[in-house]
Amino acid sequence: MAFLIVTGIPGNLLIIVIFTKRNKTLPLVSNIFITFLGFIDLVICSLSMPLIVYDTVCGTYSEILCKIEIITTYALTVGSATMFAVIAMERYFSICRPHKPLSLKQAKIIISAVVLFCMVIGIMSIPTHAVQQYGCNVTTVPLTDVVNIFLVLFNVGLIITVVSLYSAVYRIVYIRAKSKRAKVQPATSNMGPETSSMQMDHITLQTEMSDANSRHPGTSSGTAQSINSTDERSAQSGARPNNQRSTNVRKNQKAEEKSELRILSMLFTITVIYVVSFIPFWLITFDIIAKNEFLLYMFFVNNCSNCIVYLVMNVQIRKEARTIVCGT
């Protein structure tokens, strides 16, 4: 856990600084949510984890420290999990319903609701632990089982919600990409309106020359060849810009699709890490596997890995981090 503390504190601080400066790869509302998630992870790494390390190594014999440890651990881990669902919801509205995105006012209301919910969870967790023989340990009061069952069901509900939202978003992104590719014709067939008008002029000129030939045979063959060659050059020069525009449109569409998929993949990867890191805790809670200190607190990996995922999977964030750390 000491390694998680050492990597989690500077990593989450860096993410907070980057997204506070309004990272351009995501909308402002997304930046606010991710910044708040980074703040929650930072408090967990700087407060909850050190208290648990102290309790595990030395034993906590202060009732106040025991309560602080439990309140922060329960409340903040629930808050972190809830923010995953909130970020997934924001992505859904931003991509699937672009005409009705979340506003700044709505974002503030959502964050306030998450804070209030975390406070309720923290208060509910107070009776579940107390100072006993070897430090701050679980009590046998009935509320302990109620809180644990509620948290497991709540997390399962969040996972289902997040997977459903990201599945809907991936589906919309795929459908839109397929539709855009179908609208953009290959450069060889998309000649554009300018070329079409040139082709009509060419046909008109050929008709006029045919009438002239019928009136004065043998006098206009050279003129016809000159018009044909001039018309071909004009058509070619008109087709090239249109072909270039078509190619640029396809390139821009592919870049947009890749950007959206990278962001979605990054956020979904964070969710997967969260689920995997919490599985041992759930298994120990319901006595499916024997209690093990390493597995019991494995869910803290989630609070330290988010910053690493951002840096690895987002080029823009990586560049901004390099600028902040190295000044280049």
| 275-294 pLDDT per residue, tens | 888 888 888 877 788 877 77
Determine the residue type at 281: F
Residue 238 is assigned to a structural domain of this protein = no
Choose the weakest-confidence range: 71-85, 94-108, 219-233, 255-269.
Answer: 219-233
Q: Quick check: 158 and 112 in contact, CB under 8 A?
A: no
Phi, psi of 326 (to 5 degrees): -100, -15
Residue 223 is assigned to a structural domain of this protein = no
Confidence label for 248 from pLDDT (cuts 50, 70 and 90): low
Q: What residues pair up with 118 in beta bridges, in sequence order?
A: none
Distance CA 34, CA 27 (A): 11
Nearest CA to 30 out of 222, 296, 251, 263 is that of 263
Q: What is the pLDDT of residue 1?
A: 76
Q: What residues pair up with 137 in beta bridges, in sequence order?
A: 130
Residue 209 is assigned to a structural domain of this protein = no
Q: What is the pLDDT of residue 252?
A: 60
Q: What is the pLDDT of residue 222?
A: 46
Mean pLDDT over 207-233 rounds to 46
Contacts of 203 (CB under 8 A, 6+ apart): none
Distance CA 231, CA 273 (A): 63
Confidence label for 227 from pLDDT (cuts 50, 70 and 90): very low
The average confidence (pLDDT) of the chain is 76
Q: Which two tokens stand for residue 308?
A: 């690493």
Confidence label for 184 from pLDDT (cuts 50, 70 and 90): low
Q: Quick check: 53 and 78 in contact, CB under 8 A?
A: no
Instruction: Say which DSSP state 130 is in.
Output: E
**Residue of 130 and 185 predicted with greater confidence:** 130
Mean pLDDT over 254-273 rounds to 74
Q: What is the pLDDT of residue 221?
A: 46
Residue 207 is assigned to a structural domain of this protein = no
Phi, psi of 136 (to 5 degrees): -80, 105
Choose the weakest-confidence range: 37-46, 189-198, 302-311.
Answer: 189-198
Phi, psi of 131 (to 5 degrees): -70, 120
Contacts of 55 (CB under 8 A, 6+ apart): 65, 66, 69, 135, 136
Q: How many structural domains comprise the chain?
A: 1
The boundaries of the domain holding residue 304 are 2-185+276-326
pLDDT at 179 over 80: no
pLDDT at 38 over 80: yes
pLDDT tens-digit map of 84-135:
899 889 888 888 887 887 888 999 999 999 999 999 999 988 888 888 777 7
Distance CA 199, CA 285 (A): 77
Distance CA 285, CA 74 (A): 14
Q: Report the Cα–Cα distance between both ends of the chain, in Å, rounded.
A: 32
Q: Which two tokens stand for residue 23?
A: 């990272």
Query: The CATH number of the domain where 131 resides is what?
Result: 1.20.1070.10
Confidence label for 28 from pLDDT (cuts 50, 70 and 90): confident
**Residue of 195 and 179 predicted with greater confidence:** 179
Alpha-carbon torsion 29, 34, 40, 46, what sign?
A: negative
Residue 92 is assigned to a structural domain of this protein = yes
Q: What is the pLDDT of residue 181?
A: 67
Residue 65 is assigned to a structural domain of this protein = yes
**Residue of 150 and 231 predicted with greater confidence:** 150
Q: What percent of the chain has pLDDT over 70?
A: 73
Residue 270 is assigned to a structural domain of this protein = no
pLDDT at 174 over 50: yes
Residue 315 is assigned to a structural domain of this protein = yes
pLDDT at 264 over 80: no
